[in-house]
Amino acid sequence: MSTEDPRRRIPRTDRVLADPVVRRAGSGLAEAEVHGAVVAAQARARTGEIAPEDVVTAVVDELSGRGASSLTPVLNATGVVVHTNLGRAPLSDAARQALQDASGYVDVELDLTTGQRSKRGVAAREALLAACPAAEDALVVNNGAGALVLATTALAGTREVVISRGEFVEIGAGFRLSDLMESTGARLREVGTTNRTHPSDYRDALGPDTGCLLKVHPSNFRVDGFTSAVPLAELRALADEFAVPLVVDVGSGLLTPDPSLPHEPSLAEALEAGADVVIASGDKLFGGPQAGLLLGRAETIQRLARFPLARAVRADKLTLAALEATLRGGATPVERALHADPDRLRERSEALAAAVGTQVVAHDGRVGGGGAPGVPLHGWAVRLPEGAARALRLGTPAVLPRVHDGGCLLDLRCVPEARDAELTRAVTAALEGVR
């Protein structure tokens, strides 16, 4: 190698790591992360992509834009409130603060008055019972699937779980609730048909080998036309007659009835109709963190809490803190988005359209997350050229629009109004490359 070879001027790794500017840029990151950025910048210099003298600058640029987590915050401009690909429900300010407070040492299983060990999740349980008085007791686990497998395993074991064929649900990524339950040893006893199930279908299946009677709300699809299903009150009578528990999975976590979602069952309704235990997810219409909620009769909930599998699916301190704060902290972002004023949405959309020189079109949002399928959320969207979508997704902040019918649609339903100016700047920058 010639002594004039510019690669000889590439600074040594130890010297770059010791540079004060690099040290400041890498504060808060693991040593391996900073070292990797240095090695990558040196490699670029060796290939001639950057000058040797620019290695430190390249390292600083890389570290300055990198957090300890690779997850990128996104402005949800799709109009889908509970967007699974974006992490479902965004947390309220109260829940976010609770997460931060609980990230260190907290009294999750400690009575500070006595200094003795206490029961886990007491405050979250109390908040759930206050929000849903129809429940005698409550239990929180890691997610909705965990709640379902705990209930069916603890109550049925290897006996039969009786369920209507019309309630066999498959959710995202090919995940089937039936496969989940069978994986624990329970046997599914299918009754009725896809579109019609009658009380006699359940009666003929119930017997000494029945572990529990399960009703699942098909929250991500609808069957219309020549259909029938057995109301919960009638299932309660059958469960009493055959002395088996009645488990109801309402799915989306709506605590109480919402007039804007007339066909979406709530936990309160299911409990009032006689369910022994009702299951729901915490990060859908409930508006909180990922969690599995089990509410019902005290005897049944305590039986589930004592079952060994409960330890494997228990919720951590962060989930418990965020869940309690979701209940005690006022309206959630999900609730506000579901009930957004269409007139105000139009005003905001028109202001954005005027600022970037485009038009506003009528647009129906959706609940999403397997909740209220087919229910439109009437509103408005700013229509941009389809080519703007990629630039918006890769911009700062990242913005996820809806690409539809040859256009890029921005629905502001789920975008906090306080971020409208930031969104306008992001759209302006994205349009520069497509006009």
Token pair belonging to 235 = 């299932």
Contacts of 394 (CB under 8 A, 6+ apart): none
By mean pLDDT, which of 63-72, 210-219, 401-410, 417-426 is the weakest?
Answer: 63-72
- Phi, psi angles (nearest 5°) of residue 37: -65, -35
Burial code of 351-362, b = ≥16 C-beta within 10 A, e = fewer?
ebbebbebebee
Long-range contacts of 37-45 (CB under 8 A, 24+ apart): 37/62, 37/63, 37/66, 38/13, 39/13, 41/16, 42/10, 42/11, 42/13, 42/16, 45/7, 45/10
CA distances from 275 to 160, 280, 294, 310 (A): 18, 13, 11, 20
pLDDT band at 221 (very low <50, low <70, confident <90, very high): low
427-435 mean pLDDT: 87
Domains of the chain by start residue, with CATH: 6-64 (no CATH), 74-84+336-432 (3.90.1150.180), 92-330 (3.40.640.10)
Residue 282 has pLDDT above 80, yes or no: yes
Look at the alpha carbons of 53, 58, 60, 61 in this order and tell me if their dihedral is positive or negative.
Answer: positive
Which pLDDT score is estimated for 1? 46
Alpha-carbon gap, residue 328 to 331, rounded angstroms: 9
pLDDT digits (tens, 9 = 90+) for 136-165: 999 999 999 999 999 999 999 989 999 998
Alpha-carbon gap, residue 106 to 99, rounded angstroms: 11
pLDDT digits (tens, 9 = 90+) for 302-355: 999 999 999 999 999 999 999 999 999 989 999 999 999 999 999 999 999 999
Alpha-carbon gap, residue 408 to 423, rounded angstroms: 14
Q: Which of 339, 318, 295, 250 shows the shortest CA–CA distance to 127?
A: 295
Tell me which residue has tokens 């540079």: 19
Alpha-carbon gap, residue 141 to 355, rounded angstroms: 47
Residue 96 has pLDDT above 90, yes or no: yes
CA 388 to chain centroid, in Å, comes to: 27
Tell me which residue has tokens 């290695």: 55
CA angle 411, 416, 69 (to 5 degrees): 100
Alpha-carbon gap, residue 34 to 27, rounded angstroms: 9
pLDDT digits (tens, 9 = 90+) for 159-213: 999 999 888 877 666 677 778 788 888 889 999 988 899 999 999 999 999 999 9
Alpha-carbon gap, residue 88 to 283, rounded angstroms: 6
375-382 mean pLDDT: 94
